[in-house]
Amino acid sequence: MLSENIESALNDQVTKEFYSSYFYLQMAAWLENQNLRGFARWMKVQAQEEAAHTLILFNYVNERGSMVRLGQLQSPPAEFGSVLEVFERVFKHEQGVSASIADLMHLATGEKDYATRNCLDWFISEQVEEESQVSEIIGKLKIVGSDGYGLLMLDKDMATRTFVTPAPLRPSPTSQPSTGSE
């Protein structure tokens, strides 16, 4: 079982990951309203990723014999001045998520909970990737500036993103689906 401190902190992180999914869906709605369906698709895929992150933590807490307790979600921002502002908010948000994961890792290390540290290692790597990806998009948005054609080209590029189930949620190669005849 998890200690009370770690269980509580992981439950807080579950809520934060749920909020992240909610946050990205709201941004997708704004982008669709701006007729930027490619950027909206990118946000929807990101929302799926965040929901998957929630499930990874949800499953982990349950696997450790503890109880998941879902917290209340606040409303995400719904209005933005530009696509650049959207992605700058995304970057700031992801930095906050990275800090939260680092705090969890610090707590797990202090309590010598190596199983939780192992679970969090995946999240730390994921956060490095997410911050890097968003930083690259911000750089491209700054290059195109107010050029509508450049923004439309980026929109087309963003539409190619697809969701990939994270490794911790994929069935292991040794697990076999039930055939129903056992």
Domain that holds residue 44: 4-162
pLDDT at 147: 82
**CA distances (Å), origin 177, targets 58, 118, 166:** 22, 26, 19
pLDDT at 180: 53
pLDDT in tens, the chain (182 residues): 899 999 999 999 999 999 999 999 999 999 999 999 999 999 999 999 999 999 999 999 999 999 999 999 999 999 999 999 999 999 999 999 999 999 999 999 999 999 999 999 999 999 999 999 999 999 999 999 988 999 999 999 999 999 999 999 988 766 555 555 54
Flag whether 60 is in a domain. Answer: yes
Flag whether 172 is in a domain. Answer: no
* Long-range contact pairs involving 141-147 (C-beta distance under 8 Å, separation at least 24): 141/83, 141/84, 141/87, 142/84
Flag whether 41 is in a domain. Answer: yes
CATH number for position 104: 1.20.1260.10
Flag whether 65 is in a domain. Answer: yes
Flag whether 167 is in a domain. Answer: no
